[in-house]
Chain A
Amino acid sequence: MIPIVDAPQRRAPSLDIDCTLATAWLVAFLRDELIERRKTHRAVLGLSGGVDSAVAAYLCARALGPENVTCFRMPYKTSSADSLDDARAVTEALGCGERTIEITAAVDGYLQNEPDADGRRRGNVMARTRMIVLFDQSAKLGALPIGTGNKTERMMGYFTWHADDSPPLNPIGDLFKTQVWALARHLGVPERIVAKAPSADLEANQTDENDLGITYLEADRILSLMLAGYGDEKIAARGFAPSDVALVRAKVESTHWKRHLPTTAMLSSTAINEFYLRPVDF
């Protein structure tokens, strides 16, 4: 008998990343974009207490020095105390600046006249209020706001348009959530933050995975196949529930607009970003 060697079947493209390389690359990105191109050493970011903003803070501290990074905790009255504590754990570990700015008065100042606003609308108002704070503080400090959205939520459209996605630089936006977790452990983010269930913390006991209807690990595996060009049947054939594949596909296909600037009517052959094309760093 001649021995037969079976080639392994890969369920999905590897989500593994070399965290040392990723860190070096992202630190260089932040330094190039902030210091050399935009001529500032300072960054501001919102710390939610979650893993994404914690990783962004750790990267900024490495790139710029903790003394040049100011983190803002921006709780609403319903935000959990644990989130505030976890954000504090990050600033204490890094030794970077921290300030807490309550957004309750600003949010309620508007929402008091909108008593029928549902959770979705209220959440969006909070997210947009946090961006007002962050951009204003960046102007005050001569700093640049840093984005903290990951690739999974960007692909699934699980964010508030022109809020979470508005900072001009985002170091982690091409990393899936599971990759952010790996990077967080590599960077030394407190395990409590890495291990806890991700949550937008807009309502009590809310979790991302309940909102999305799928775990991040399954979503990331399916997304990685989808982005590689595989159709739904091929993806399901690799051992994913067709309902999960359909769910992810629907989220992606219904949110392309959230990954673009506003649609502008084109009337000339010099339309901006259609004919008049210049890169962002030109």
Chain B
Amino acid sequence: MSVLLEVQGLEVSFDTPDGKVTAVNGVDFQVRAGETLAIVGESGSGKSQLVLAIMGLLAENGQASGSAKYLGKELMGLSQKQLNSVRGKDIAMIFQDPMTSLNPFLSIERQMTEVAMHHNKISHREARAHAVEMLRAVRIPDPEERIRQYPHEFSGGMRQRVMIAMGLLCAPDLLIADEPSTALDVTVQAQITHLLGELREKSQMAIILITHDLAVVADVCDHIIVMYAGQVVESGSVDEIFYDPHHPYTRGLLESVPRLDRPSDTELHAIRGNPPNLLALPEGCAFRDRCDYAQEACKSTPPLWRDAQNGAGDGTGDGTGDRGRGRSNRCILGLPGGELVSPAKQPDAEAKQEGHAAADTEVGA
């Protein structure tokens, strides 16, 4: 599979009255044609700013550096005009809040035909027919009628489906969906995820799905990167991340999902504490204050990025060794081969160190 988007050393920072905030701190990843990548992390982990930077949509006080190549062509540093030929056509994006990302003053027809007429240089009539077809593809009932309506006449779930239809108008190679189902009811969330799953199977489109909830991407993604405090802390295939998470943060995210199949009289597992203040990151590992496995060493040494060759074994399929691609994580413990069990609040540090001594010798990079 060819590489569609290659991001290397991407940094995003903002000038704020309190100082310079680094929201994204050196992120690498790849998206290959037809693949679905999930970017997972809490609020403030930098996952949205990362894709906004790639799309040239940062707020005015934001600066981005590093490289993001779309089919070999550098996107960083392009003018807005140059980006306009890529955005919507090659790379489309849908946002979290479907109410605020549609223009309430314009009919759906107007909003949808504008995009197609601009990029494909077609007549209004053709554009309209195409838009109706797309609405039908995302299961809007009665699309010929509904296309005349305004956003407020649609329910939340329908608006999000309209957004997806708009994103699909120019048959992009890559669709970026930033928390597409977060503001919606579970039932509608299930519909939207189902729709994305269908699109993924039917078209050759690659998708980047951004979410704070690992559960919603379980059945629709191929590859996952987990972000914390502006850095990627773990990456791997969907099965690797779900069945053999190496980083304690990934484990925490998985365990905090409320499940119907867990006994209800137990405490829910939460990641304790709060997302870190990016202006005052702790020394060493940014996650250590919230980590159940933290040790002395975590206080001083920032964990390096490393490939885990001793992973699940089937993780090497894609692992060409490039950062942010194969099975890798950013933790001095790395917890390879661990089972997904609730970690004890205070694990026996000695036993831990012994158990991972072998893994630690491989820390390189």
- Say whether A and B bind each other: no
